[in-house]
């Protein structure tokens, strides 16, 4: 699967991908996979052995996941067979990692301190342009309000970082508008002073309909308020300079993106401009620094101590051996309320694939359903289902060892709840243990047995505990990069491309046609239900 491309950098070769006679055996038919599955089935899931992998800014406790020396060895053999070393080099060196779109997936270059990279000059130039813009705005006291208009990767990254690190306040009033629903842009504009507002329009293609329509509404709002120089209140982050110009945004107000940085991996680029405006240039720099440290760890740590790799192998066991279809993200930090949807896009858009890189149906289930709410709110919504439901679900618990507030008793209770929920999921509570307890207050033996059965916790439900020393720009950057690399490793083993998203595009095409119909255009062929509602809503 992995060879040399035209640039001489390791990557999937065209012949290997397009010719069926060069394709290797499907994953499920390989000896390495079968051995991995058998080893996982016989592994220990009792947390009898402490297993913590230390990475930059985060400790990954895998003690409550399946583990054994045999499983560790089988995981390493599986990675070797799937060409992991070559695939990792391809990613980190700017090879053609995104094979279906014939381009790199070089988001690591956006945060790399290595000046020798062939794109280092471009990246450094845009970094400095962002910093200069923010410093000038700070020095001149411009923009009390900032509205970021983008969707998907142009929204979730900045939204997450600003909410996580701006809990104590931001330098500017920050708004995020993503949805095409008019209520979103209406709420985003409510109460703002047009003369002191900046709009950041973020879209790599500058063709995203939600972003363009909301940006056009922002221009109308500025002009209706009598703003003469709209360009002074708008900047764009895009690879389509001409598209930004059509909206009235001058070249000097356009910050560049590149096609080798995917949207869900783009918070490290000029997409991070809202972060710098809200929290300062140094916060954006810290975010990049933490991610770069995780990149270095991923590139050099031995497999057994490589946090993203071990997190990925654990995910493969849970998804493919135990058959768990989803992953819950339980961040025990109220500032990380946007972590679950951020990771939801990263994981599900990357791994929600049913065809391998050779164009064949995949031979094992791929991406998981990723979902979650921050703890302890989660305990009062869906933890009942996690503990006693019929579908066991792995949980990633994320917590900060130190808080940034002065209420020590609150933080102790938060930590206690995190550890307790994790322990309860793993240990469970049996009928034999419960029956004597219930019998102390229930004298009727039959009723006691009946009630005890309702209280049984099955246990044996795996989880990972990710511990940050405290929530800083560096630790958040490292955490996000950790998950990026975890997703990449899963994609390599499954033989899928985690950097395209063709499934997203089809619905966009259909929506464009339906919108034209709703505006009086010619009818198009539809199923009976869609045709009914198009006709009803014209």
Q: Which residues contact 11 (CB under 8 A, 6 or more apart)?
A: 2, 3, 4, 5, 90, 95, 96, 97, 99
Q: Tokens in use for 103? A: 């381009």
Report which of 362, 370, 315, 368 is spatially closest to residue 339, judged by C-alpha positions.
370
Instruction: Decide if pLDDT at 5 tops 60.
Output: no
Has 289 been annotated as catalytic? no
Three-state secondary-structure class, residue 255: strand
Query: Do you find a cis peptide bond into 495, omega within 30 degrees of 0?
Result: no
Has 486 been annotated as catalytic? no
pLDDT digits (tens, 9 = 90+) for 458-492: 999 999 999 999 999 999 999 999 999 999 999 99
Q: What per-residue confidence (pLDDT) applies to 19? A: 61
Degrees to nearest 5, angle at CA 415 with 411 and 416: 115
Tracing tokens 């391998």 back to the chain, one arrives at: 356
Q: What per-residue confidence (pLDDT) applies to 7? A: 40
Tracing tokens 């034209």 back to the chain, one arrives at: 516
Q: Which residues contact 432 (CB under 8 A, 6 or more apart)?
A: none
Degrees to nearest 5, angle at CA 146 with 135 and 275: 60
- Spatial strand order of the sheet with 395-400 comes to 52-55, 58-61, 463-468, 395-400, 326-332, 369-371
d(CA 469, CA 484): 20
pLDDT level of residue 12 (50, 70, 90 thresholds):
low
Q: Which residue out of 349, 387, 485, 486 is catalytically annotated?
A: 349
Helix (H) or strand (E) holding 33: helix 31-41
pLDDT level of residue 11 (50, 70, 90 thresholds):
low
Has 216 been annotated as catalytic? no
Q: Which residue out of 380, 410, 532, 538 is catalytically annotated?
A: 380
Query: How many helices (H) does the chain have, and how many strands (E)?
Result: 20, 13
SS3 content of the chain, % helix, strand, coil (to 5): 55, 15, 35
User: What are the phi and psi torsion angles at 64 (to 5°)?
Assistant: -95, 25
Q: Tokens in use for 361? A: 């149906």
Q: Is the dihedral of CA 285, 291, 296, 297 positive or negative?
A: positive
Three-state secondary-structure class, residue 326: strand
List C-alpha distances in Å: 203 to 96, 126, 132, 453, 534. Answer: 23, 16, 21, 54, 29
Asked if 395 and 418 touch (Cβ cutoff 8 Å), the reply is: no
Report which of 276, 308, 329 is spatially closest to residue 108, judged by C-alpha positions.
308
pLDDT digits (tens, 9 = 90+) for 83-127: 999 999 999 999 999 999 999 999 999 999 999 999 999 999 999
Mean pLDDT of 363-382: 97
Instruction: Kindly tell me the burial class for residue 140, based on how many C-beta atoms sit within 10 Å of its own C-beta (0-12, 13-18, 19 or more).
Output: exposed
> What average pLDDT is seen over the chain?
95
Largest CA distance in the chain: 82
d(CA 249, CA 147): 15
Mean pLDDT of 51-67: 98
Three-state secondary-structure class, residue 293: helix
CA dihedral 292, 294, 299, 305 (to 10 degrees): 160
Instruction: List, as one string, the DSSP characters of 395-433.
Output: EEEEEESS-SSS-HHHHHHHHHHHHHHHHHHHH-B-HHH
pLDDT digits (tens, 9 = 90+) for 191-237: 999 999 999 999 999 999 999 999 999 999 999 999 999 999 999 99
Q: Which residue out of 508, 516, 532, 538 is catalytically annotated?
A: 508
d(CA 454, CA 387): 12
């Amino acid at each position: 699967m992995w060879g040399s491309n035209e640039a001489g950098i390791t990557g999937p070769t065209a012949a290997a991908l397009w010719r069926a006679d060069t394709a290797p055996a499907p994953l499920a038919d390989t000896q390495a996979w079968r051995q991995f599955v058998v080893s996982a089935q016989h592994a220990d899931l009792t947390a009898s052995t402490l297993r913590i992998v230390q990475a930059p800014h985060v400790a990954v406790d895998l003690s409550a996941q399946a583990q054994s020396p045999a499983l560790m060895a089988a995981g390493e053999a599986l990675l070797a067979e799937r060409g992991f070393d070559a695939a990792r080099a391809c990613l980190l060196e700017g090879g053609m990692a995104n094979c279906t779109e014939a381009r790199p997936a070089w988001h690591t270059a956006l945060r790399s301190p290595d000046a020798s990279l062939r794109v280092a000059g471009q990246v450094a130039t845009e970094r400095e342009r962002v910093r200069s813009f923010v410093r000038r705005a700070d020095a001149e006291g411009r923009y009390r309000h900032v509205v970021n208009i983008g969707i998907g990767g142009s929204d979730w990254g900045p939204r997450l970082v600003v909410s996580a690190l701006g809990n104590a306040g931001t330098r500017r009033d920050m708004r995020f508008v993503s949805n095409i629903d008019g209520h979103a842009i209406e709420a985003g504009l409510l109460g703002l002073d047009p003369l002191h507002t900046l709009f950041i329009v973020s879209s790599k293609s500058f063709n995203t309909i939600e972003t363009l329509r909301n940006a056009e509404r922002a221009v109308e709002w500025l002009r209706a308020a009598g703003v003469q120089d709209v360009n002074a209140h708008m900047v764009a982050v895009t690879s389509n300079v001409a598209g930004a110009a059509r909206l009235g945004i001058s070249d000097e107000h356009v910050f560049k993106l590149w096609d080798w940085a995917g949207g869900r991996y783009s918070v490290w680029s000029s997409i991070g401009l809202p972060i710098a405006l809200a929290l300062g240039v140094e916060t954006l720099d810290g975010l990049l620094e933490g991610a770069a440290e995780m990149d270095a760890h991923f590139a050099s740590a031995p497999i057994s101590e490589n946090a993203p790799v071990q997190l990925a192998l654990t995910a493969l066991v849970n998804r493919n051996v135990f058959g768990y279809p989803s992953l819950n993200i339980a961040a025990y930090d109220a500032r990380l309320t946007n972590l679950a949807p951020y990771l939801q896009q990263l994981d599900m858009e990357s791994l929600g694939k049913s065809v391998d890189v050779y164009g064949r149906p995949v031979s094992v289930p791929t991406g998981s359903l990723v979902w979650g709410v921050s703890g302890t709110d989660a305990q009062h919504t869906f933890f009942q289902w996690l503990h006693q439901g019929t579908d066991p679900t792995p949980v990633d618990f994320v917590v900060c060892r130190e808080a940034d507030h002065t209420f020590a008793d609150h933080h102790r209770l938060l930590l206690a709840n995190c550890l307790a929920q994790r322990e309860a999921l793993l240990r469970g509570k049996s009928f034999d243990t419960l029956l004597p307890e219930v019998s102390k207050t229930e004298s009727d033996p039959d009723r006691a047995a009946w009630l005890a059965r309702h209280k049984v916790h099955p246990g044996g439900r795996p989880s990972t505990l990710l511990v940050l020393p405290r929530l800083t720009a560096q630790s958040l950057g490292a955490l996000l990069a950790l998950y990026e690399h975890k997703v990449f490793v899963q994609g390599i083993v499954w033989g899928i491309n985690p950097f395209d998203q063709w499934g997203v595009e089809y619905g966009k095409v259909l929506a464009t046609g339906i919108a034209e119909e709703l505006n009086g255009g010619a009818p198009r062929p539809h199923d009976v239900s869609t045709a009914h509602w198009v006709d009803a809503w014209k």
